[in-house]
């Protein structure tokens, strides 16, 4: 089922790799990142102002804290403070940083930070016989990580059901989203099963869950955002004015505005000139509200 929900451009970002929008109700701003710039951004829809903080290495994901954010760089996990722009080292990456970067990440309902990899070796390439995929990890504090899912090559579609008892995660090259039973007390997924197959475009990109438990997922390369019901059936599609939407997130005072990031790094310079909307930040109104935001809860370590 397609829908004609009007989509508007709210920021002409022309981002190489816009990703991971997160609404901050306290400040009324939408945080987002560009993995390849690399930078963390904060967009104020009331003024149209976009503030950014450059990062020293590829930025895959982040989780908001009271004073800033925990940022997942290629070189490791850091505590970033907005006021002075300082970075404090927390943990090394759980992978070889010459072969992988962090990609999609999110907080579970208890504030634990989960994040997955993207296989992107540095030049001149990768001659290692080691697997070119790795699992999603949970950060356990004191520099420790817990491998929690099957290995993936490009981690995406990470989200939780409203009750926190179902974990969703995907692998873009496999064009698959899985669901797993999630123990909210232990932070462990069990009983992985296929939730949905996405044959169009490159496959599933980032995702968010609404208050009815439906999963909204950007379909990279197919120019649309799809709403799946809790059984994995497509309930509706929203056509986007760009080829590569990357992730939807709920925001606004009533949490009924869906913001969608996009990317243009796969386009040639000529294509970027012809399609200047690629890489911009978009918004449309949702039929139901999203879920309230969660802040990172520092683990005690294990």
Catalytically active residues, by annotation: 205
| Closest-CA residue to 57 (of 42, 41, 43, 36) | 36
- Binding-site members for a divalent metal cation are 19, 156, 205
Tokens 């520099």, located at residue: 143
Query: Token digits for 146?
Result: 């817990």
Instruction: Decide if 93 contacts 60 (C-beta within 8 A).
Output: no
Task: Please spell the DSSP secondary structure of 72-86, one letter per residue.
Answer: EETTEEEEEETTT--
Q: Measure the CA–CA gap between 231 and 119, rounded to whole angstroms.
A: 30
Bridge-based pairing of strands 234-239 and 2-3 is parallel
Instruction: Decide if 140 contacts 85 (C-beta within 8 A).
Output: no
- DSSP-derived secondary structure letter, 263: B
Task: Please spell the DSSP secondary structure of 265-286, one letter per residue.
Answer: TTS-HHHHHH-TTTT-EEEEE-
- DSSP-derived secondary structure letter, 95: S
- Binding-site members are 19, 103, 156, 205
CA 278 to chain centre: 18
Question: How many CB atoms within 10 Å of residue 258?
Answer: 26
- Binding-site members for substrate are 103
């Amino acid at each position: 089922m397609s829908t004609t929900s009007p989509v508007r451009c709210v920021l002409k970002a022309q981002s190489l790799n816009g990703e991971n929008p997160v609404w901050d109700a306290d400040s009324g701003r939408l945080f987002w990142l560009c993995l390849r710039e690399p930078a963390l951004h904060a967009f104020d829809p009331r003024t149209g102002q976009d503030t950014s903080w450059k990062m020293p290495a590829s930025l895959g994901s982040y989780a908001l804290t009271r004073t800033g954010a925990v940022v997942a760089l290629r070189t490791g996990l850091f505590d970033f403070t907005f006021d002075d722009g300082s970075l404090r080292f927390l943990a090394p990456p759980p992978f070889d940083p010459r072969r992988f970067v962090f990609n999609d990440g999110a907080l579970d309902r208890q504030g634990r930070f989960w994040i997955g990899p993207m296989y992107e070796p540095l030049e001149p390439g990768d001659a290692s016989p080691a697997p070119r995929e790795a699992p999603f990890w949970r950060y356990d504090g004191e520099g420790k990580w817990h491998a929690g899912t099957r290995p993936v090559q490009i981690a995406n579609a990470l989200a939780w059901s409203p009750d926190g008892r179902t974990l969703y995660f995907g692998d873009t090259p496999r064009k698959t989203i899985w669901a797993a039973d999630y123990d909210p007390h232990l932070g462990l997924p069990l009983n992985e099963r296929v939730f949905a197959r996405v044959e169009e475009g490159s496959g599933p990109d980032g995702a968010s869950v609404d208050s009815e438990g439906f999963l909204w997922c950007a379909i990279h390369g197919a120019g649309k955002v799809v709403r799946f019901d809790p059984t994995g059936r497509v309930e509706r599609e929203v056509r986007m004015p760009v080829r590569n939407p990357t992730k939807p997130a709920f925001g606004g005072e009533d949490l009924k505005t869906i913001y969608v990031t996009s990317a243009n790094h796969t386009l040639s310079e000529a294509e970027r000139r012809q399609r200047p909307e690629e890489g911009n930040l978009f918004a449309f109104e949702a039929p139901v509200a999203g879920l309230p935001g969660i802040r990172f809860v520092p683990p005690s370590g294990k």
